[in-house]
């Protein structure tokens, strides 16, 4: 089966680099799955769960803001915060929520919708743990 | 003639100084490796971010709807200088070289009638900048409690800068830090943060992307993050440079202490020999007189 080169990097380290068969990504305007030969695509991330499938192995990561860059052969996810789903605790998510809420309070008027959406998306993360 | 006892004390004291500088050098070497690894690990993210931003901002520049962070406030009256230095001294010219560059820039701006505001990161920079520009300092970020500079710290600084920009406190922001080249070479660098500037990489073919949401929205979302990344890269470079500078400074200090010990030992041995000769002369002339 055709594979796609998948990279997950955060500002502090490279979390994963492997050949994946499919990657389910929480895009800003909805989830989507990237497979080999996906059209070149660039989208921002919303806080959510990223699922990487390589053969029969599935790895899940929790990611917050950042973006995804997809070309036909490679998918790079640049996430501001990224960690394996198993490492995520309630406190970490509470921290994200606090940060998103603080950002929403100081956001200039034209960005307020975006900031509020981020708060809602971050709160939705609580359901997954 | 210097007293033998004094000389001996002096040698002992220089020896313990040498021990300390040697230890500091070794600690710096270990820290340097860690700092370099951190800088290395942060590079893929920063490079990718820069490439995408260069691509996006190239398209958006010139259009009227470009975000303010990219287009600027349309003025360049008030400049914010972010001076990033170390929390500690004893690292050669590391802190001074950054401050020197920032001071030159500040003086140049003031002489052309601009208003300058200064934000310092790191205690040493604040102390030095205070001497000349104490009334221009607006804030200070203290990282002395932070063991390992993380993205969180950079993000906090960047958010603060963006908030000040949105509040109209300044028009142009520049960060000053030391670019790490090698252990003996660090280049003080000034990088413009706002309006954001991204180096266009050459010979990189960019496929025709589909954007979701629109390009402008992505740009608005990513600009603050790109800013945090730039600050983070600056802090990482600074961290590696600091350790590199300290390592070579302490290496020099250790060598100088060694030279000093050698010189003092020669003086000590000469004085001892002279004292012995003197005593012998006294004994011999005493015996002859009999």
Count CB neighbours of B94 within 10 A: 26
Angle between helices B94-111 and B123-133 (to 10 degrees): 30
The class (CATH top level) of B36-246 is alpha beta
Mean pLDDT of B20-46: 92
Closest Cα of chain A to B212: distance in Å? Answer: 5
User: What pLDDT score was predicted for residue B132?
Assistant: 87
**Cα–Cα distance between B94 and B269 in angstroms, integer?**
39
User: What pLDDT score was predicted for residue A73?
Assistant: 87
User: What pLDDT score was predicted for residue B13?
Assistant: 96
User: What pLDDT score was predicted for residue B205?
Assistant: 61
Mean pLDDT of A26-46: 89
| Residues in chain B within 8 Å Cβ distance of A13 | 41-42
The reply to whether B4-20+251-289 and B36-246 are identical in fold is no
DSSP code, position B195:
T
* C-beta of residue A12 within 8 angstroms of C-beta of residue B151: yes
Mean pLDDT of B190-213: 77
Check whether A88 has a pLDDT greater than 90. Answer: no
Check whether B62 has a pLDDT greater than 80. Answer: no
DSSP code, position B93:
T
Answer whether A10 sits within 8 Å of B151, measured CB to CB: yes
User: What pLDDT score was predicted for residue A90?
Assistant: 85
Q: Report which of residues A128 and B263 the model is more confident about.
A: B263
Q: Work out the mean pLDDT of chain A and round it to a whole number.
A: 87
Assign B98 a pLDDT band (cuts: 50, 70, 90): very high
Closest Cα of chain A to B132: distance in Å? Answer: 33
Closest Cα of chain B to A43: distance in Å? Answer: 5
Q: How far is CA B242 from CA A62, B146, B156, B191, B246, in A?
A: 34, 15, 21, 18, 6
Q: CB contact, 8 Å: A39 with chain B?
A: yes
Q: Which two three-digit tokens encode residue B194?
A: 């706002």
Q: How far is CA B115 from CA B56, B107, B197, B276, in A?
A: 31, 10, 21, 72
Q: Say what the pTM is.
A: 0.88
Return the CATH architecture of domain B4-20+251-289.
Orthogonal Bundle (1.10)
| Residues in chain A within 8 Å Cβ distance of B45 | 9-11, 78
Q: Which fold has domain A4-85?
A: ATP Synthase; domain 1 (2.60.15)
Domain spans of chain B, in order of start: 4-20+251-289, 36-246
Q: Work out the mean pLDDT of chain B and round it to a whole number.
A: 89
ipTM: 0.85
- Across the interface, which of A11, A44, A71 has its CB nearest the CB of B45? A11
Q: Using the CB atoms, write b or e for B11-46: b if 16+ within 10 Å.
A: beebeebbeebbebbeebbebbeebbebbebbebbb
């Amino acid at each position: 089966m055709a594979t796609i080169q998948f990279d997950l990097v955060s500002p502090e380290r490279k979390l994963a680099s492997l050949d994946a068969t499919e990657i389910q990504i929480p895009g800003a305007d909805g989830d989507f799955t990237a497979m080999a030969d996906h059209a070149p695509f660039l989208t921002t991330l919303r806080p959510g769960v990223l699922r990487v499938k390589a053969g029969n192995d599935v790895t899940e990561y929790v990611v917050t803001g950042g973006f995804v860059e997809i070309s036909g052969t490679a998918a790079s996810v640049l996430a501001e915060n990224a960690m394996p789903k198993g490492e995520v605790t309630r406190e970490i998510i509470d921290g994200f929520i606090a940060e998103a809420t603080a950002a929403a309070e100081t956001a200039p008027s034209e960005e307020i919708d975006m900031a509020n959406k981020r708060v809602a998306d971050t709160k939705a993360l609580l359901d997954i743990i | 003639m210097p007293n033998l006892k004094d000389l001996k004390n002096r040698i002992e004291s220089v020896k313990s100084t040498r021990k300390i500088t040697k230890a500091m050098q070794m600690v710096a070497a270990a820290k340097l490796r860690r700092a370099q690894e951190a800088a290395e690990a942060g590079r893929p993210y920063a490079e990718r971010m820069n490439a995408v931003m260069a691509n996006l901002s190239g398209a958006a520049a010139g259009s009227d709807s470009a975000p303010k962070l990219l287009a600027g406030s349309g003025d360049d009256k008030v400049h914010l200088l972010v001076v990033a230095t170390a929390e500690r001294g004893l690292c050669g010219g590391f802190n001074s070289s950054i401050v020197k560059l920032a001071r030159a820039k500040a003086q140049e701006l003031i002489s052309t009638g601009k208003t300058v505001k200064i934000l310092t990161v790191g205690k040493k920079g604040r102390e030095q900048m205070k001497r000349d520009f104490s009334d221009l300092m607006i804030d200070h970020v203290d990282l002395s409690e932070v063991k390992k500079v993380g993205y969180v710290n950079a993000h906090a600084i960047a958010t603060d800068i963006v908030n000040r920009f949105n509040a109209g406190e300044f028009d142009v922001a520049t960060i000053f830090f030391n670019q790490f080249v090698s252990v003996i070479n660090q280049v003080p660098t000034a990088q413009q943060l706002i309006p954001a500037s991204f180096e266009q990489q050459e010979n990189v073919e960019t496929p025709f992307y589909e954007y979701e949401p629109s390009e402008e929205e992505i740009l608005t979302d990513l600009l603050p993050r790109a800013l945090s990344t730039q600050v983070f890269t600056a802090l990482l470079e600074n961290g590696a440079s600091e350790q590199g500078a300290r390592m070579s400074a302490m290496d020099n200090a250790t060598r100088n202490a060694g030279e000093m010990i050698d010189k003092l030992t020669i003086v000590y041995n000469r004085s001892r020999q002279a004292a012995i000769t003197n005593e012998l002369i006294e004994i011999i002339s005493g015996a002859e007189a009999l």
